[in-house]
Each structure stands twice: as structure tokens, then as C-alpha cells.
Structure 1
């Protein structure tokens, strides 16, 4: 993709979210008046202290330090989905390993289902009004096991968190224990948001997520990270999962990871079709629309069936279940000769290429491209579920709306599977830094939209928005200029809905595009970005780690960019301020002057059109503004026209002063 087209792909709905029309452009003829501004090089290029200091845990080069540590959590869960009472009950064993240098006197768990309680903090804090509720988790047993001995846990529940107070602190350096938890909860219906029940023509579809108590993160940044679940997403530890889901025999279960016991839950024909799909680049039907409702398409059993799934090196799992599912699949080809499996589950009435019939094609292409471009997909399957949840990601599985189709399904599929890389491979803290997982993911979406089928669904658009004209570098300006807009580096729950997409998705993603295409260039950016992903795969980087990584591996001191774009909402205003004969003598040539009037700096192209019909382009680096507010370009011929950023590749807030045109003789 060329630089102009790539920037234009990132419009992604800002017009809709901000209520803007098309972009404003160009210039005023004649000599611009003397420019005045607020730019101060000493402010923009001052030494930058990042929020988190480098140390033995996190190196100055942005990589994990020599003493970096991370605790581990492995889960074993046996769950029963009761479709009569609409409840899920489970027996969970959490194996927790303390790799930290600290003795832990207590453990903290996350209880996401408690967000649906009438007394949940989120009712008042998140801005999402709720009129339907559940009781949240109900616990029958919570026990601690140490050295093979169990005892009843001393625990406290506060909102969406549980503190388990240990009889003896868990020692540092690899000591472990187990928690045994028996629980159940009422599954939220259509009000569940990220986990819900929805109707289809052949029966209900259950999208089940955030379905088990899970460990909070204990890290070197804060100790226990106990932010309550208000609306923003997750920060989780890594480990292995074994889980068993028992459902009525007529249902299919789509789960994160690999199905361990297909012989128990699939027909012989389905197992054969699945084997075929593992070596097919074309979509293979495992259960066709015509077979939905046919008893022969399920093993004959009067008793419920138990589906066993296993997943390694993951921070979460989710599953979906329904008797209404069509199921198809195709091989994903990965770097190094590895393969995975793209699969889609959706109701029969949504079959067909204009609905969900191309879902697996979309999914397969995105995983292959992201794997080639950034980091190999690590999981045995990538699953897209068409159900009641309208766009939510979990490791190895996506919940997208059954109503989607065409470009809308493509965009939401690509975006949600892109979250595998951010924040599931690179384990960002979404509750504090939504701009990292949403913005980084939106950034990689841009290139996938152009790659797929020669741009069939390009340029990139978010699924809920209507495509339209306009440049992202123009449409971001009202947000950057809005004194009420938050900066990207703010706790995710503190971002009002008015600004959520604009800041966390669009500004963050546009920052990476500017960094790749205007500041570092693709060769330097791509190498540094891939190194950052590989260094932090299945680990927990902070924003400061990312900034240091791109400085170090990208070979550039970018403190001026981090300060202006991410730590502040500074704006850019470059202006042409005139053309003057050197010392008043035309024979000595001319000086073209460009001023920086606002706090942000950015590399910029200046196009000079000469009176003799020739043209010259000059590239001004960011360092042009290191000591001064105005720079001069020497030329040897009379000038007819000067234009700053003629291709509109940088977010200049006032284009009226970007062009100088010589007076007509």
C-alpha cells in the first residue's frame, strides 16, 4: 500500500462517531501574513520521563529484563450447561504458581459475573444503564490445597473481586497451591453483552464467556492488579486450560483450543469431514444447513454429552453451544509448515455467501496474513461464532453477530481475530491501556483490509459505520483540539463513550501509521514492531516498554512523538511564511520559510513549484524544529508556489496557511 492510500484507509468511522462531515482543505493564495504560534522547542524536545522506570525486570531497550518474572495459572474446569434453568454450574481447580520474589499473604480472583448484580459498581461507573440483573456467582465451596492438604478458604467478596486470605503466605520463587471452587450462576439473557443467550430458527445459541472465577494478575508494576470489572476488558495471567462442558446431546459446542474427545461427541461422518478440512484450503462443511435438526447429524444418546477441550499458553477460554449450528472449516497455513484450523459456527438461516458462508474464508486469510506479517498464530484453531453477541474476542474464539454479512462480517471478523495478537499474545492490560489492544489491533486491520482479495473490502471501516470520504489525518483533528478529550494514556474506564472509539481505536492506530509511514519508514518500523511482539509474547508489557522498544529497535529518539501524541493531545500547525530573496538580491537565490505554530512536531514534505515549470520536494525531519520555530529552504530559482504536506499525510489542523502562491505579476 502506498503512503497516501494507507492513511486514507484509517478513516474508520470518525465521521460517524464525531458527527463530522468531509474534510476541510486547502489554501489561501498570496503571501501568508507573519505567523505567530505557541510552539516552544524546549517543551516539545524536553527530556521525557516515561511512566514506568527501566529496571532489572524491564530493560531500557524495551524488552523483558534479566530478572523478569511472571506468575502462572493453570485451570481444570468441569461445567454443566443447564438449558432448562439457564444456569451454568462448575467445579473448578486453579493451580497457581508464585514465581514472584514476594511471599503472598492472600490471593485475588476476578468474578466477572458479578457485574450483573443489582449492587455492582458498574451500574453507576460505566455509563451503561442496566435494567435486568442476575445474582452473580453463587459459591458452594471454596477450598485451599497446599501440599495435598485442603482447608476451607477464608475469603471476602467485594463487587467483582474475591480475596482469599491464606493461613500461611505462599512462598516466592515457584511455590504453588490449588484452589477448589464449586459455583453456579444464572446465564444473562439478551442483556449479557459479552456473554448472552439469543434465539435462532432452530433453537437458542449460548455465547458463554467470563464463565469461571479467574486469578487476578500479580506483577512487578503494582503487586495485585485489582481494578474491578466495570465495562473495560481484561488483564489475565497465562497458563494451560483443560475444561469439560456437558450439554444436551443435540448441541454442538465450539470452544477455545482443541477438541480432545471427538470420538465421544461427533458422528463418524463429522470426524471424517473434519479430517478432510485439516488438509483443505477450501471451506468444508462439517455439518450442513440441511443437516441441522436431523437426528442423524448427532450421536444418538439419551444422556447429555461432555465435550473436552484443551488449550496451552492462553490467558482465557470461552465457548458457544447450540443445536442450531451449521459448522464449516478449512486449513490455516502458518509459517514454518505449521497449520491450524479456521472454523465457523452459525445458524442455518444465516448460510450463504451474503451472510455467514464466507466467514471461514475471511478468518483463514486474516490469520495467515497476520501470522506472516507480524507473529505466527499459536493456537490449534480459530473459531468464528454467529450468535447473539455482536463482536467480542476471546483466545481462539470470536463472538460475532449472526445478523452480519458481506463487508460488515469481514471487518468485524478481522478485527476480533486480530485481538489474538493484541492483547492475547502480547498481554496488554486492557483495563488500564485500552489504546494498546484496540489501537494496535485497528492498526493491523488496515493492512488486512487492503490485502484481502485485492482490496475487496478495503479500505478499512469499522462494521457499524457507513463508508464515506474523508482523510483520517483531517478527522482526528477535532479530537486532538477538544479540551475535554482524554489522552490515550488514561485508565480505560475513565474514557467517556463519546471518546472511546476516537481515542482508544483511531488515534492510537493513526499514531502507529504515522510512525510506520512518516517517521520511521516501513523497514525500520516493521522490524522493531515484530521484535516487540516476539519479546513480549505471552508476557505483560507496559506502555513504557513499548515506547522504549520502538526507540531502541527503531533507531530513533521518539520522545517528542510519545509526548505529543500519546501523553498529550497536542496539535500540529505548519505554515508557509513566505519566499524572500537572499539579502534582498535575486542573484543569490531565495529562502522559502516554514513555521511551526503549535506544540506537535512531525516530519513533513514541502513541495516547491518554480516559475519555470519545474518542481522540487524537500523533506523536513522532526529535528528541523529542535532549536527553532521557523526553518528556511534555499532555492536558486523564482518560486511560483509552496505547499506544506501536499498529500495530506500528517494531521495539520489549519491547512489555510499551508500554501504560498506568488503574486501574479
Structure 2
């Protein structure tokens, strides 16, 4: 008898407690301590701001290039003024040679991302010579090239904290018809040249990895230091050049009519056409005879990590004033072929650009550059400081979306200089997130809500659409490096899931007032610096006053799913007037607050939000509700704000 009683007791204990232990395990995983496994130091503070001894190196460039429009060869010389502000003496330095992605023996040659690139032995940078400035003279450098990187080995270490190194490189390369982020488009009025990563650039040496030399494979974009870039472009007379930063010699490159109309545009909230379609066609006819005269366009951009430019005889050109906070202004400009003109097409491009910059400036951080430029050409959509390359055939809502997104990248990662090659979500996801609110505002919601290839691509409710991504087998987590994604997973994860996660954080988990304050401070503190994911996580927690480790863990580091359920409703002493007991359950690993709508039989409706802390101890929770009559219905997440993977258990009916 004693043996039977013991077995009964053990059996009862296992049956009634094993589910609880299993559920506690899920809760313990979500709310586990020690999320921050890296210690803070003098360089990066615990509150997510740069530390008192934060440092980063500086790279200034003087670039001179010439475009041969017959051979498409770009020949150039770059002088780099590199400042070692780190506490480490450097025996060597690394540079990025991203044009080498097009070489047939590049590491990217086997990558599916670069399949569209024409790879020949003539492609990539042809390095003519590399020199460094030592003891007041230029001497040949000891260098080697490996794939898309160049290492320069120094005879003496570059001094810590104050060392300065000057590098000079002569080079050329062939601009391809479709190089991904650069291209050539043939139009009836001439070719449009879109030119990017056209000079060797310094790799970043930081306090995280030292030299970050991850090769350019195509998907992972860029990580660059800040500085001043002074560059000039020489090409045939009759071409119009648009480039990042300020044009320093407008009187030498533009005619009097251009200059006069530009002055009007700088004061106009409406788009001012500077070169009309008829004027473009007339100008092309005049210059069809062979002209060997060359013109040099001189640009300069300060506090930037990169520049890009575009040139053509075919550009229609318009512009308008950008209104910035505190009375500041900038200039929005668009250039595009005659074939793109139209009221539902590129004739509205400057309007879209102007509103986007104004919206982002009002809400997050003031646009710092003198101009913002759209270029309509062959490149489908690519961002650079102060200039974007957008596809010339897109129209209407699609055109608005691509312009807003690409110019939005000036905030992430051009101003907030995260590592795109390792953390695509910190620029693509953040940018998609800010686009949501800019698009809602544009022209009283003309194109709202944002639904496109970046966010809820099927046009439905984002909370419902994200479920298919969250439940897809072997879907990568947000923290996956850009080059590790399959092509079909990049937009769903780095763009959509990241952006929707920030929407959840802003509108459900925290609230807009606290989120916006924390996010703006993150942008302000890390403007022109290099934040890591943990800097962002710490900044948001400190700014909102919330411990959000459970969210980072479930949404960013894992693909945990959400399944909230209402399982039963009972009454205290079987009397509805004494109150109702509503049984809730969290049936999966992801935890989120509970949004609930309760309808009583007397017609009263109560909307209740329960904080995420109800799941800290257990996956079951009982809500005691003051009620005056029987409960008619209980519905979880009635407005579909949460990504619940099983809505069949979200309601209870009497």
C-alpha cells in the first residue's frame, strides 16, 4: 500500500508539474539574464552612447578622375590623408578595392549575387602605382592585393593617436553597362553614366575588430570612415554632371540660364525646371558633331564617408527648396532622361525627394548636406551620401517609395555609420521603418500605407504577413551577416522583419513618445560614428527606461514565434458581479504584451493591455476582471497588431 501511494504521488507530481516546467523553460529563455555578454569600456558606454575615450580614424580624399566616353574607361588618381586616432600603432593599413568584384577570379565570382556582372580579365581596378609620403617625398609603397583588399606595409609604424599617412594611387578601370551599383543607360539623347565606388577607399580600423577587412561579395554593402572628399570629374563638354556635395565651379560648368533658374529653385517650394526636355534635345543636336573639348567639374563634400556621381547629355533637370528645422534650407534636385518625363513619373521626383528629406529631418535628425539628388538611370535603387540612383522607368507610388527609401539611407548608414557589410538590418531595416511614417504623411496620405517589396509586400496587414516569414523553415535571423542571406530572404528579414519589429517596439511594447525620444538620441549620439548592435540595444533601453533583452533575444537573435491564447473564462463564486477570471496562455517562445478586447453581455466593451511582465514567471496567466455582467466575448489582439501565428485560439465566446 505504501508503495502504491508513493507511485501515485510521483505520478501526480510529474503529470501536473512537467507542463509547468516546460512552460517555465520558455519563459526563462525569454527573460534570461546576462544578455549583454560584452563589457563596456572607455570607448562605449553602458547607456549606449560613445564613451569618453571613443575614437575613430579619419580618411580625407582628393580624387581626380576622367571618363572616356568612347571606351568607358575611368582613369584616376587618389590622394588619401589618413589619420590614426586609435591608441594602437599600425604597422600596415588596409584599403578596399571594390571594383575588383568584377574580376573573374574574385571571391564574388562564384556568388549568385554577382551573376549579372560581366566578369573579364580587363575588369576591376588596374593599379598603376602606389606611393606613400615619407620624409617629405613620395616613395613606392610595399603593397599586395588580395581580392577586393589592398594591404600597404609600412617601414615604420603609423603612430598611435596622432599618426598621419599620405597615400597616392594611380589607377583605371572599365565602367560596365550593368555593374550593380553603377551602370550605363543608352537613351535617345545620349548615355547616362552612374558611377560609384570609383576610387580605392580605406578599410575601417575600429575598437571592435581592429581592421575590418571582410571582402566585398556583392550583397554586403559598405563600412567606411568619415572625412572630407574633394573630387573632380573630367569629361566631354556638353555633359551635365551631378555629384555628392557642393559644386565648387558652377560658373565654369553651367550656363547663365542654368545658374539663374537654380537661384529661383533655391527659393521655391514648387519644382522649378532648369533644363526642359526641348532644351535637352536642342543641346544634343548642337553637340552631335565630334567635340574633343573637355570640362572638369569640381565637387567637395565634408564629414562624409563616400561620394558618387552621374553624367549625361540626356538629363532633364529640375529642383526645389528643402525646408529644414530652424530656418535652414537645402536643395532637392532630380535629373532623368526625356523618356522618364510625366506627371505620374519623374516629373514628380523632386517633389518626392523634397518631402522625404523634410520628413526625416523633422522627425529624426536634420539633413546636413547642401543638396539631395535623384538620378534616373539604369541602377534600380542605390544610395550614396547626398545622391541616389533610381530606376528610370518606375512611376507613381513605386517611384515615391524608391526615392524615399534611397534618400532615407542618408540617415542610415550615411549619418549613423553602422557596418552594412555585417549588419544589413541596421541600415535597411531602420530605413524601412522611418519610411513607413514618411509615406503616411506624404501629400495627406496619397500613397499610404507603405506596402511594397520592403514592407508587407502582399499589400495586407504587416502583422499577418510577417507570420509566413517567422514560420518559414530555416529562415535566417535578423543578426545574420548580409552576405549569408539567400537572395530571397534578404528583404523579408533585413527590411521587413526589422522594420516591423521597430513598429512593435514603438507602438505596442513602449509608446511613441518614449521610443521617438530614445531613437532620436541614438541618432544624435552616433551621428558620423560607428555604432554596433549592442550600442543600439543599450541606447533604446536607457532612453525608454525598459529592459528589452527579451525582445532583442526573441526577435533579433532568434526566430521565436508568438502564440497567445485565451483558454477559459470563469466567475468568482460563479457570480459575474463578483468578477471574472480570464485564463490566458503564451504557447510559444516569443513573448509580447497582451492586447485584449472584452465585451460583456450588458454591452460594455473594455480594451485592456497587459504588460509583457505577466509572462516572466509562467506561460499561464489569470486576469481578474471587475465585471457587472457575464462576459460575452474575449478577443486577443482584435486589431491584428501582433504577429500571432495561430489566431484560432485568440477568442472566447460565451
With the shorter chain as reference, the TM-score category is over 0.9
SS in 2 for 1:228: coil
Residues 1:522 and 2:508 aligned together? no
**In the TM superposition, what is the alpha-carbon distance from 1:50 to its structure 2 partner?**
3.0
Residue 3 of structure 2 corresponds to which residue in structure 1? none
Shift of 1:589: 2.9
| Aligned residue pair count | 628
Q: Quote the offset at 1:463 in angstroms.
A: 6.1
Determine if the alignment matches structure 1 residue 303 to structure 2 residue 293: yes
Q: Which residue among 628, 649, 654 is the counterpart of 1:657? A: 649
Q: Flag the 1:465–1:171 CA change in 2: closer, same or farther, 3 A.
A: closer
Alignment equivalent of 1:219, drawn from 180, 199, 206? 206
Cα separation, partners in 2 of 1:520 and 1:563, compared to 1, 3 Å = same
Match of 1:89 in 2: 75
Instruction: Decide whether the 8 Å contact of 1:170 with 1:176 is kept in 2.
Output: yes
Structure 2: tracts of 5 or more residues without a match: 1-18
Give the CA deviation at 1:293: 3.5
Provide the residue aligned with 1:70 in structure 2: 56
Using the alignment, how far apart are the partners of 2:430 and 2:238 within structure 1? 40
Residues 1:314 and 1:363: Cα distance change in structure 2 (over 3 Å): same
> Which secondary structure does the structure 2 equivalent of 1:476 belong to?
helix
Q: Distance in 2 between matches of 1:64 and 1:126?
A: 38
Render the CA deviation track for 1:418-449: whole Å, top value 9, x for unaligned.
Answer: 00000000001001000110000000000111
**Cα offset, 1:295, TM superposition:** 3.8
Match of 1:404 among 378, 394, 406: 394
Q: Distance in 2 between matches of 1:346 and 1:521?
A: 41
Partner of 2:242: 254
- Taking the aligned partners of 2:540 and 2:285, their CA distance within structure 1 comes to 52
Choose which of 185, 188, 192 in structure 2 pairs with 1:201: 188
Aligned ranges 1:534-553 → 2 under 5 Å: 534-553=524-543
Q: Which residue of 2 aligns with 1:382?
A: 372
Q: Deviations over 1:599-619 (max 9, x none)?
A: 111112111111222122221
Structure 1 distance, partners of 2:183, 2:316, is 19
Q: 2:272 matched to 1:272?
A: no
Q: Distance in 2 between matches of 1:549 and 1:334?
A: 26
Contact preservation (8 Å) 1:266, 1:298: no
Alpha-carbon deviation of 1:209?
0.4
1: CA distance between counterparts of 2:113 and 2:269? 45
Greater relative contact order structure (CA < 8 Å, 6+ sep): 1
What's the CA shift for 1:147? 4.4
- With 476-485 and 98-107 compared, the bigger mean Cα shift is at 476-485
State whether structure 2 residue 337 is matched by structure 1 residue 347.
yes
Return the offset for 1:476: 1.1
Q: Displacement, 1:556?
A: 0.5
Give the aligned partner of residue 600 of structure 2: 610
- Cα deviation for residue 127 of structure 1 reads 4.2
TM-score w.r.t. length of structure 1: 0.92
Aligned equivalent of 2:313: 323
By how many angstroms is 1:297 displaced? 11
> Following TM superposition, by how much is the alpha carbon of 1:465 offset from its aligned partner in structure 2, in angstroms?
9.4
The separation in 2 between residues aligned to 1:632 and 1:233, in whole angstroms, is 49
Q: What is the Cα-based RMSD across aligned positions, in Å?
A: 2.0
Deviation, structure 1 residue 464: 8.7
Asked if structure 2 preserves the Cα contact closer than 8 Å seen for 1:408 and 1:464, the reply is: no
Q: TM-score, length-normalised on structure 2?
A: 0.93
The 8 Å contact of residues 90 and 184 in structure 1, kept in 2 or not, is answered as yes
- Residue 170 of structure 2 corresponds to 182
Instruction: Give the secondary-structure state (helix, strand or coil) at the position aligned to 2:310.
Output: strand
Match of 1:367 in 2: 357
Determine the C-alpha separation between the residues in 2 that align with 1:476 and 1:136: 40
**Is the CA contact (8 Å cut-off) linking 1:515 and 1:521 kept in structure 2?**
yes
Equivalent residue number for residue 11 of structure 2? none
- Unpaired stretches in structure 1, ≥5 consecutive residues: 1-33
Provide Cα deviations, 1:362-414, integer angstroms capped at 9, x if missing partner: 00010011100100001010000001101000100000011112111111000
- Cα distance change, pair 185–469 in 1 and its aligned pair in 2 (3 A): closer
Q: Which residue of 99, 118, 123 maps to 1:132?
A: 118
CA shift at 1:581, angstroms? 2.3
2:406 is matched with 416
4+ residue runs over 4 A deviation:
34-39, 296-302, 463-469, 583-587
Structure 1 distance, partners of 2:454, 2:608, is 40
The residue that corresponds to 1:334 in the other structure is: 324
How many angstroms apart in 1 are the aligned matches of 2:285 and 2:369?
27
The answer to whether the Cα contact below 8 Å between 2:148 and 2:215 also exists between their aligned partners in 1 is: yes
Q: Distance in 2 between matches of 1:467 and 1:152?
A: 53
Conservation of the 8 A alpha-carbon contact between 1:37 and 1:597: no
Match of 1:343, SS?
A: strand
2:96 matches 1:106: no
Alignment of 1:152-171 (within 5 A): 152-171=140-159
Equivalence for 2:501: 511
Residue in 1 aligned with 2:432? 442
Q: Could you tell me which residue of structure 2 aligns to residue 145 of structure 1?
A: 133
Q: Residue 250 of structure 1: CA displacement?
A: 1.1
Q: Give the C-alpha shift of residue 564 in structure 1.
A: 0.6
